[in-house]
Structure 1
Amino acid sequence: MAVEKGHRILMVSDFFYPNFGGVENHIYYLSQCLLKLGHKVVVMTHAYGNRSGVRYMTNGLKVYYVPWRPFLMQNTLPTFYGTLPVMRTILIRERISLVHGHQAFSTLCHEALMHSRTMGYKVVFTDHSLYGFADVGSIHMNKVLQFTLADVSQAICVSHTSKENTVLRSGLPPEKVFVIPNAVDTAMFKPAPERPSSNEIVIVVISRLVYRKGADLLVEVIPEVSRLYPNVRFIVGGDGPKRVRLEEMREKHSLQDRVEMLGAVPHARVRSILISGHIFLNSSLTEAFCIAILEAASCGLLTVSTRVGGVPEVLPDDMIVLAEPDPGDMVQAISKAISLLPTIDPQLMHNRMKKLYSWHDVARRTEIVYDRALRCSNQNLLDRLSRYLSCGALAGKIFCLVMIVDFLLWCLLQLWKPAGDIEEVPEYIPFHQDGEILQSFNADQNSA
């Protein structure tokens, strides 16, 4: 079946399947819906273990696992120019018209956007996280983001709080930044046919057990809630460096029979864990959006969450109880949630989520951003360098030097291997049935 007329998009990020998380899910679901809208979508990420080269996922989603290995937290080692040859080859082979980078923490994303602008491609960036302004790591990341986004065509944030954060960190004009939230596949996250027994209240936590996700708060909250409510049991799914502290807490307070530690949970198992509970607990210290809250609400769970970042924007007030990131306030919020449980109808909550969030709606709104990006005027190198100079007295000059070297290397590549010598891929994709294309995500997760 020939590809319909539409955009030709290259999604780039260090974070993609077989790794699991909010960014990975966002790229996958958005790509699947864009394919259904008639666009061509290709994903570029780094190699994962023995997963290298070109792979195909559901509905002909093509993934380039370039032979770069993760260096830190699934990020590749910054090379500045090492990815330029392979990036150029992919762009020409796939006849890409627009590059879409994801996540400010992704090295591959930053390098891809830099090279794409050098080669004259329109670029869109989606920021999925919030960063501060005071610590050394955030100051460094904010400067990198300012460099990357100095010449970006359009940007997307997943919440209004995230937009404010990105504009302040990068210096982007607010009119260039659009808010498009995440979504949830409600067909995959359905409530249980019957609600779990009311004799026991189960609170579910599914999260990476790291400082940013508030694992230290859980260490203080779980014992206090267990003391106040003898009929409450906790299920904790996830792994990370803070898991040891939770294990120690469980031993110290003799809660082995009331706190179940599951370890790392495959995404295909998340629903089966959620529907065994009544309340979903999110203790994050910073969060741009939090897809996990959507998945829990779609399964009919009442959510208790810290009031941080973009979380207050995610759900209506009657579907979530918010608390300050303080153990005492969180215990009070859990107590309030327990008292509200008799009023919660899981199926009604699921039906509301179907109307509130849809990946197809996200794809259509993203499509509008692509249209705007492609209408942006092309600028020559000198005009683009003026943008980088505005990034700071010293940093601006360094950024200009980096881009001049990138431009010269690209010119050398043009001479060494002209675009006409790079074979373009055939314009065909596998046939797929109409209907719910997202149902097959489990099959992708369970494949080799």
Structure 2
Amino acid sequence: MSTCYKICMVSDFFYPNMGGVESHLFLLSQRLIQRGHKVIIITHAYGNRKGVRYLTNGLKVYYVPAMVVYSEATLPTVYGFFPLLRNILIRESIDIVHGHQAFSSLCHEAILHSKTMGLKACFTDHSLFGFADASSILTNKLLKFTLSDVDHIICVSHTSKENTVLRAALSPRNVSVIPNAVVASQFLPDPSASDPSWTTIVVISRLVYRKGVDLLVAVIPRICAMHKNVRFIIGGDGPKRIDLEQMREKHLLQDRVELLGPIKHSEVRSILIQGNIFLNTSLTEAFCIAIVEAACAGLYVVSTKVGGVPEVLPSHMINYAMPEEDDLIMAISNALHLIRYGKVDPSKFNGELKDMYSWSNVAERTEKATSPLIERLRRYYGCGLYAGKIFCMVMTLDYLFWLFLEMVFPRWSIEPAPTFPSKRYQLQTDSDCLDQIR
């Protein structure tokens, strides 16, 4: 690798919020920095966390002022973010803007404005969407607009690629599949941590409808009635937590169902190693990094067979079920039988997954994945009979706004930011990186 790029990652979703996108952004940025690139992240302010913060290896994070409307997603402004974004991109001498997640308004606006400024742009999709409901139709049309003029698209699974290609009417040749990864050394198994008198099923998830919490509420009482030595540890928070609490009270399962509430990423391993089985009841998933982390920690996985989940783990590490109550009960019972009679050895999973999911590999492939005005207009015009004309007007106004900013706030008036000497302070392992997040 001879060329060193200056890369700007943009998403509404980043630390201190916790989730797969947030971890992906941080760990990918760390690996790109270790490969010699300069990386900054732009996200919205989280409470008192605003302004500029430095994380491990000099990773600079801009927490910009923006109004959050729902689930940490910001209010779309179209042009309101442009002056601040332009200032940051020029100040940091950015070459490539990399947006993450279709729900992120900052991501879409950054891609639009960066292309107006003549920069390279790419996009990573982390989710699956439908085609019929109003929310999906609007999101897909927005995605078509954004991706009409992007240099490359990355998806985290082949199922996610197929979904994104259909939603945004893309050429499959412009879309790459680069899976998420895991720091295997952070999830070393510890058989002595589990209670031998119980078979423990662990669930770590956001407690929302999409994660299949309704299925979980239905399954837990039946499993507890069928298997007297089974208990559940559930980590995570969300609007569906009240349903789990009511279920626990109704069936008098306080001694067998432990609700931990919100947990930090640094606490995930200590929870996982207490278990024997990891349960994922999601109704839709593009990848599901949680099941990889669980398998690395020495847990056998039971998961609904949805989205990109069947692509993630080898068959001997996981038992699939349809997202239906009876099928899930059967899959969990089969997993309990395998664990009790020693027919699987999850303690060996970590060594197998260590080389399968490496952030070094993800960073290298992302590095490789990374137009004139008339050509941009042509691309946007093809987005639809009416939408195409609207998109052309939006882009033209964006171009004129950029020319106005160039005249009123010329580039020479923006002070360049010094480059952090990453190599001098660089940590050697991903373990060190994660230890320094907070």
Q: TM-score range by the shorter chain?
A: over 0.9
Output the CA distance in 1 between the equivalents of 2:430 and 2:221.
43
Contact 1:188 1:439 in 2 (8 A): no
Q: Once the 2 structures are TM-superposed, how far is the Cα of residue 434 of structure 1 from its aligned partner?
A: 5.4
**C-alpha distance in 2 between matches for 1:438 and 1:422:** 37
Contact 1:303–1:320 under 8 Å retained in 2: yes
2:293 is paired with a residue whose SS is helix
1:119-163 deviation digits (Å, cap 9, x = unpaired) = 111101000000000111111100000000010100000000000
Q: Given the alignment of the two structures, is residue 392 of structure 1 paired with residue 384 of structure 2, yes or no?
A: yes
> By how many angstroms is 1:438 displaced?
4.1
Partner of 1:164: 162
Superposed displacement of residue 5, structure 1: 5.2
* CA distance in 1 between partners of 2:36 and 2:191 (Å): 36
* Offset at residue 442 of structure 1 (A): 2.6
TM-score, scaled to structure 2 = 0.97
Classify the secondary structure of the residue corresponding to 1:404: helix
Quote the offset at 1:337 in angstroms: 0.7
Instruction: Give per-residue Cα distances to partners, 1:9-36, cap 9 Å, x unaligned.
Output: 0000000011110000000000000000
Q: Which residue of 2 aligns with 1:364?
A: 364
What does residue 105 of structure 2 align with? 107
2:246 corresponding residue in structure 1:
248
Mark the runs of 5 or more structure 2 residues left unpaired by the alignment: none
Look up the match of 1:375: none
Q: Aligned partners of 1:193, 1:361: CA distance in 2, in Å? A: 29
> Any idea what SS the aligned residue of 1:125 has?
strand
Q: Percent identity?
A: 58
One-letter amino acid of the structure 1 residue matched with residue 349 of structure 2: M
Could you say if the C-alpha distance between residues 29 and 438 of structure 1 is closer, same or farther in structure 2, counting changes exceeding 3 Å?
A: farther
TM-score normalised per structure 1: 0.95
Displacement after TM superposition at 1:268 (Å): 1.1
Answering whether residue 140 of structure 2 is matched by residue 142 of structure 1, we say yes
Aligned match for 2:396, one of 386, 404, 407: 404
Residue in structure 1 matched with residue 281 of structure 2 by the alignment: 283
Match of 2:347 in 1: 347
State the partner residue of 1:418. 410
Give 1:376's aligned residue.
none
> In the alignment, which residue of structure 2 is the partner of 1:432?
425
Aligned CA distance change for structure 1 residues 391 and 5 (closer, same or farther; 3 Å) = closer
The one of 379, 383, 391 equivalent to 2:375 is 383
Distance 1:275-1:437 versus aligned 2 partners, 3 A rule: closer
Candidates 7, 11, 16, aligned match of 2:9: 11
SS in structure 2 at match of 1:16: coil
Q: Distance in 2 between matches of 1:137 and 1:248?
A: 30
Aligned residues of 2:183 and 2:430 also touching (Cα < 8 A): no
Partner secondary structure for residue 280 of structure 1 = strand
Structure 2: how far apart are the matches of 1:365 and 1:115? 25
Instruction: Kindly report which structure 2 residues correspond to 1:228-307, keeping only aligned pairs within 5 A, or say none.
Output: 228-307=226-305
Deviation at 1:440, TM superposition (A): 2.8
Q: Which consecutive unaligned segments of at least 5 residues does structure 1 have? A: 371-378
Partner letter of residue 426 of structure 1?
P
Say if 1:187 and 1:439, in contact at 8 Å, map to a contact too.
no
Superposition misfits of 4+ residues, deviation over 6 angstroms: none
SS at match of 2:334: helix
Distance 1:197 1:395 in 2: 59
Is the CA contact 1:26–1:182 (under 8 Å) kept in the aligned structure 2?
A: yes
CA distance in 2, matches of 1:136, 1:205: 31
Q: Is the contact between residue 183 and residue 358 of structure 1 (CA under 8 Å) also seen in structure 2?
A: yes
Partner of 2:88: 90
3-state SS of paired residue (2:185): coil
Offset, 1:245? 0.9
Cα deviation digits, residues 406-447 of structure 1 (max 9, x gap): 0010000000011111111123424224521442313213xx
RMSD: 1.2
Q: Which residue of 1 aligns with 2:332?
A: 334
User: 2:43 — aligned with what?
Assistant: 45
**What is the match of residue 437 of structure 2?**
444
1:171-186 alignment to 2 at 5 Å? 171-186=169-184
CA–CA distance in structure 1, aligned partners of residues 89 and 16 of structure 2 = 23
Q: Secondary structure of the residue that 2:186 maps to in structure 1? A: coil
**Aligned equivalents of 2:251 and 2:64: distance in 1?**
48
Q: How many residues align?
A: 434
CA offset digits 1:181-221 (Å, max 9, x no partner) = 00111111111153624431000001111100000000110
Conserved 8 A contact 1:48-1:69: no
| In 2, Cα distance between equivalents of 1:128 and 1:298 | 21
Instruction: Determine the C-alpha separation between the residues in 1 that align with 2:249 and 2:195.
Output: 27
Deviates more, 1:339-348 or 1:88-97: 339-348
Secondary structure of 1:365 counterpart: helix
Give the match for residue 223 of structure 1: 221
Aligned amino acid, residue 399 of structure 1: F
Rounded to whole Å, the distance in 2 between the matches of 1:346 and 1:179 is 27
Q: Which of 12, 17, 20 is matched with 2:18 structurally? A: 20
